Amino acid sequence: MHLLVHFSVKAQEVISLTEQLCIRGGRRLKGTVSISGAKNSAVALIPAAILGNQTITIDNLPEIRDVHIYKQILKQLSAKVIYNKSQLIIDPREMVCKTVQDGLVTELRASYYLMGAMLGRFGESCVGLPGGCNLGPRPIDQHIKGFQALGATIEQRKGTIYLRGKDLRGAKIYLDVVSVGATINIMLAAVKAKGQTIIENAAKEPEIVDVATILTSMGADIKGAGTDIIKITGVEELGGCRHSIIPDRIEAGTYMIAAAATKGEVIIDSVIPKHLEPITAKLREIGVEIEEADEQILIKGNEVYKSADIKTLPYPGFPTDLQQPITSLLTQANGCSIVTDNIYSSRFKHIDELKRMGACIKVEGRSAVIEGKVQLQGTNVSASDLRAGAALVIAGLCADGVTSISGVQYIDRGYENIEQKLTQLGAEVWREQI
Ligand code: EPU
């Protein structure tokens, strides 16, 4: 039997705002952790589902705040949404085109996918400017450029973007920057446009392939997803399908780094090792032992780690989303490491918090210069965004004493059951009212 969940995002947020995540450090992580479905796929697959004229079933859905917000958005647009644990059934047939309540749209970055998906479904969309983690400037000019190339007109009034394009036509679109969001958004708008769309300099992230896979199962004609040229031939109609979300490579990478930082021995289960290669390679360079199997990765931590230089790049480069977590590990390596973020110029809000724990780090432009090895000390710290939260969790796991992390609502945005998963690995983690 399916359970219809009337989940209140606001209610959960209020709870998260009054909570802190506490960690007593010093325990080596040991055991197996099972990785959830990918957040950044889920928040694109849900809007993709509205393009169909039949029911879509999405399996392996992570139970995280961004997904709950998206479910609420769809309900506001009158879609039928049935949610049962990790499965979401979306019946988009009775959906209406209207403005989504600002509070929900500004809650998450990926609300921008409503622009492409509603444009494809209704020939128009009116969506507030997206929110999400504050990582410095996050323009959406490439999304807009794509919609315009397909023939849509744009108007921005009072923080809302109105797109109109009843008769979208395929076009050649060259992205000036490699953008995950723009690549997916243009795909969403183009699958039902007349003729062929070619996206050049497209992003190649596994999440893009996942979105192309669901759209193809719904009847779309997409070639080249996962390469930098994607060709989409528009079709009249899309139907329903059942789709299972790929594993979350960023959640997996976070646990790989946590296992290494605590000198633990952890099996990371239900993963696609190929998606983790950029992380595996760096961890091996630092001195972590890694064995790969079909859907598992074994991480064996060591007593001594070497410093490393890391530069974030679009996939298959080292992901910006693990730049903050790996900084915490590098505080435990001997010597000087440099972590440069080429994607977000100011994704460094975790550094001041790590310094409060005793880390020796300087931010110079786009780089963090980390002097190891330092014994971190537990204290009160604050997560300013999702991956900053992950970095502080890892720091807390190897610190002396108790680390209390506020800003839990950011961590809940992207990590399913983080304290249960860590507890299962032997960490001492709990939530407390502030
Ligand atoms: N950019 C532009 N113009 C655009 C779009 C992007 O200049 O129109 C720039 C951005 O400012 C950034 C770079 O291009 O410097 C890459 O941005 P991208 O569009 O790829 O990022 P995004 O789609 O907004 C997604 C993930 C992020 C992840 C980035 C990079 C989702 C919902 N978010 O964001 O995930 O950091 O790709 O891989 O998929 C996270 O999970 O913590 C997270 C922030």
Q: Any idea which residue has 């786009």 for tokens?
A: 366
Q: Which two tokens stand for residue 361?
A: 């780090």
pLDDT value at position 1? 28
**Model confidence, pTM:** 0.95
For residue 204, pLDDT beyond 80: yes
Note the pLDDT tens digit of each residue in 247-277.
999 999 999 999 999 999 999 999 999 999 9
Domain 39-234 is of which CATH architecture? Alpha-beta prism (3.65)
CA distances from 61 to 41, 119, 273, 327, 416 (A): 9, 25, 20, 29, 10
- Nearest residue (by CA) to ligand 1, atom 4, is 140
Question: Which of 40, 134, 204, 326 has most ligand 1 atoms within 8 Å of its beta carbon, as the pocket-test mutant?
Answer: 40
The ligand 1 atom at the shortest distance from the C-alpha of residue 320 is 36
Secondary structure (DSSP) of 55-68? -EEEES----HHHH
Any residues with Cβ below 6 Å from ligand 1, and which?
A: 39-40, 43, 109-110, 133, 137-143, 177, 179-182, 203, 250, 320-321, 343-344, 386-387, 414
From the list 58, 54, 98, the residue with the least C-alpha distance to 75 is 98
- Nearest residue (by CA) to ligand 1, atom 41, is 321
- From CA 374, how far away is CA 354, in angstroms rounded? 11
CATH T-level assignment (fold) for domain 18-35+247-433: UDP-n-acetylglucosamine1-carboxyvinyl-transferase; Chain (3.65.10)
**Displacement of CA 430 from its chain's centroid (Å):** 24
Q: How far is the CA of 28 from the centre of ligand 1 (A)?
A: 33
Q: How far is the CA of 428 from the centre of ligand 1 (A)?
A: 33
Output the CA torsion sign for 326, 328, 332, 334. Answer: positive
The ligand 1 atom at the shortest distance from the C-alpha of residue 145 is 8
Question: Which of 140, 180, 344 has most ligand 1 atoms within 8 Å of its beta carbon, as the pocket-test mutant?
Answer: 180
- Nearest residue (by CA) to ligand 1, atom 18, is 179
Phi first, then psi: what are they for 47, rounded to 5°?
-65, -30
pLDDT value at position 4? 31
For residue 10, pLDDT beyond 90: no
Q: Is 224 helix (H, G, I), strand (E, B) or coil?
A: coil
Note the pLDDT tens digit of each residue in 380-421.
999 999 999 999 999 999 999 999 999 999 999 999 999 999
Say if CB 431 and CB 410 are below 8 A apart: no
Q: Where are the domains of the chain?
A: 18-35+247-433, 39-234
Amino acid making up residue 418:
I
Query: pLDDT over 70 for what percent of the chain?
Result: 94
- From CA 142, how far away is CA 137, in angstroms rounded? 14
pLDDT value at position 19? 93
159 pLDDT band, cuts 50/70/90, is: confident
pLDDT value at position 133? 62
Q: Which two tokens stand for residue 163?
A: 């797109």
For residue 316, pLDDT beyond 60: yes
Question: Which of 133, 343, 348, 413 has most ligand 1 atoms within 8 Å of its beta carbon, as the pocket-test mutant?
Answer: 343
Q: Which two tokens stand for residue 404?
A: 């209390």
100 pLDDT band, cuts 50/70/90, is: confident
CA distances from 78 to 73, 91, 243 (A): 9, 9, 22
Domains 18-35+247-433 and 39-234 share a fold: yes
pLDDT value at position 135? 60
Q: In what order do the strands lie in the sheet with 309-312?
A: 309-312, 335-341, 367-372, 360-364
